[in-house]
Amino acid sequence: GGTFTLADLDFDPAAVLTQVVTELPGSTLETFYVNGDGEGNVQYGVLVTSAEGGGLDVLVAPDGEVLAVDPLT
């Protein structure tokens, strides 16, 4: 994976998970993560599980906008 520096981190801690919480009520946010994408960019995401089973990997923008959702198997 890619690397990044502290200066590359640019997310709003008060907002980054807000839309995920709103869009997936009753879900459990398991892990917030930050990855380098290998092209010099930083990606933010959250792993989410449901009480009914299953999970999602949700990629979010620094302001909390949901960019992509992938099911976890």
pLDDT at 37: 86
Tell me: the pLDDT tens digits for 9-67?
999 999 999 999 999 999 999 999 999 988 888 999 999 999 888 999 999 999 999 99
pLDDT at 38: 85
Angle at 59 between CA 51 and CA 44, to 5 degrees: 115
Q: What global pTM score does this model have?
A: 0.89
List Cβ neighbours of 36 (8 Å cut-off, separation of 6 or more): 1, 2, 3, 4, 42, 43
pLDDT at 44: 97
pLDDT at 28: 96
